[in-house]
Amino acid sequence: MRRLLTLGCALLLAAPVVARAQGKLNVIASTEDLASIGREIGGDRITIESIARGYQDPHFVEAKPSFILKLMRAEVLIVVGRDLEIGWLPPLIAQSRNAKVQPGARGYLDASQAAKILEIPTGQITRAMGDVHPQGNPHYWLDPENGGLIAKVIADRFSQLRPNDRAYFQQQLASFTTRLAEAVKRWTGLMAPYKGTKVVTYHRSYPNFAERFGLQVIGYVEPRPGIPPSPGHTLELIDEMKRQQIKIILMEPYFDQKTPNAIASQTGAQLLVLPPSVGGEKTITDYFKLFDYDVNLLVGALKKAGVKPGGSH
């Protein structure tokens, strides 16, 4: 009896140790941005894949059974949260048969928990406002500062699940945040002369980006989040853009360019397809290249538009 008990307890105690001594940590991220940050932290100690592609609308990913297979084997699932994936991720998780990645489990990581979240509604909200996110704007990864905060929660979670690799993950984190801090200096330096420039965007994808780089979003091509452009709203927007002399329209690659093009030609503004995610363009292969691309594109356009320091014309 005593031997059996000892053996049983030894096995119980040893089980997690054995599990931790396994190979690479298998991580699935819902978007390519989180996968890129996860890759920076995990290095060669993890395998990481994303579900959504950077060039597709992250609100409308299909819940394909092939994703269930990915989730079934995952030890960590990193999600954007704030209801961004509400239309497709819950059924995938429910069918994954994987206790490790169920919401509330240690393998389920909501990256928004540490990030700076904008546009959290404070009053009564209804769907008359369009597809508002009750927990705030989910496009928060577009502020590189948030990238650093996301990286930290990822490093902490990886360390919890692979305590033997803690030092490695923390070292990777330190390296990432140092490089990011340098890059942020570069990006904000490039954008600094144009601080206060007013822009129009298609969807509410860029509030964090705008705040970080000193842009001021004065209107949207969508009359309300998730609602396609309407003629009335478009006319109002054109008038407003003329009045305020708006020279830049930013849009996501997955929307139709017809209305933004019409607005651009009416107002003389430039239409920029500004990828909001890693993978949004072939050359954007990681989180740094995302901002490299977007900032360079913007600065080029602002120079072309003859925007002078301070955002005036």
Partner 1 sequence: MPVFRYGMALVFMATLLGGAPPASAQAPADAAQVRADLDQLRKDFEQLRQEYGQRIAALEAKLTAASASDTPSLAGAGAAAAAASSNGQQPPAPPEPASTSATAEPAIPPEQIPQVPVGAAAGGGSSGAPVYGGSPVAGSNAFNPDMAVIGNAVGATGVNRVAPEPALQLREAEISLQAVVDPYARADFFVSVGPEGAALEEGFITFPTLPGGVLMKVGKMKAAFGKVNTLHPHVLPWIDRPLAMNLVGGEDGINDAGVSVAKLIPNPWVFLEATGQVFRGESEDLFEPSKRSDLGFVGHLRGYQDISESANLDLGVSYARGHNPSGVADGIDAGRFTTDLFGIDATVRWRPLRRSIYHSFLGRSEVIWSRRGQPSGLQRGMGFYASGDYQVGRRWFAGVRIDRSANPTDVSLIDTGQSVTLTFRPSEFSQVRSQYRRTAYATGPTANEFLFQFQFAIGAHGAHPF
Contact status: 266 vs partner 1 (CB under 8 A)? no
Contact status: 206 vs partner 1 (CB under 8 A)? yes
Query: Per-residue DSSP letters for 59-105?
Result: TS----HHHHHHHHH-SEEEE--TTTTTTTHHHHHHHS--GGGSTTS
- Contact residue for partner 1 among 223, 273, 297, 299 (CB under 8 A): 223
Between residues 158 and 305, which has the closer beta carbon with respect to partner 1?
Answer: 158
Q: Which two tokens stand for residue 247?
A: 């020279």
- The contacts of residue 121 (CB under 8 Å, 6+ apart) are 132, 134, 136
- Contact residue for partner 1 among 24, 193, 227, 245 (CB under 8 A): 227
Report in angstroms how near the CB of residue 248 gets to partner 1 at its nearest. 13
Contact status: 209 vs partner 1 (CB under 8 A)? yes
- Contact residue for partner 1 among 19, 181, 235, 310 (CB under 8 A): 181
Give me the amino acid identity at 308. Answer: K
Footprint of partner 1 on residues 98-157 (CB under 8 A)? Answer: 98-99, 102-105, 112-125, 127, 129-132, 135-137, 144-145, 148-149, 151-153, 155-156
Footprint of partner 1 on residues 161-180 (CB under 8 A)? Answer: 163, 166, 169-171, 173-174, 176-178, 180
Cα 165 to Cα 170: distance, rounded to the nearest angstrom: 9
Contact status: 88 vs partner 1 (CB under 8 A)? yes
Contact status: 237 vs partner 1 (CB under 8 A)? yes
Report in angstroms how near the CB of residue 98 gets to partner 1 at its nearest. 7
> Edge-to-edge strand order for the sheet containing 25-29?
46-50, 25-29, 76-79, 108-110
Cα 78 to Cα 213: distance, rounded to the nearest angstrom: 26
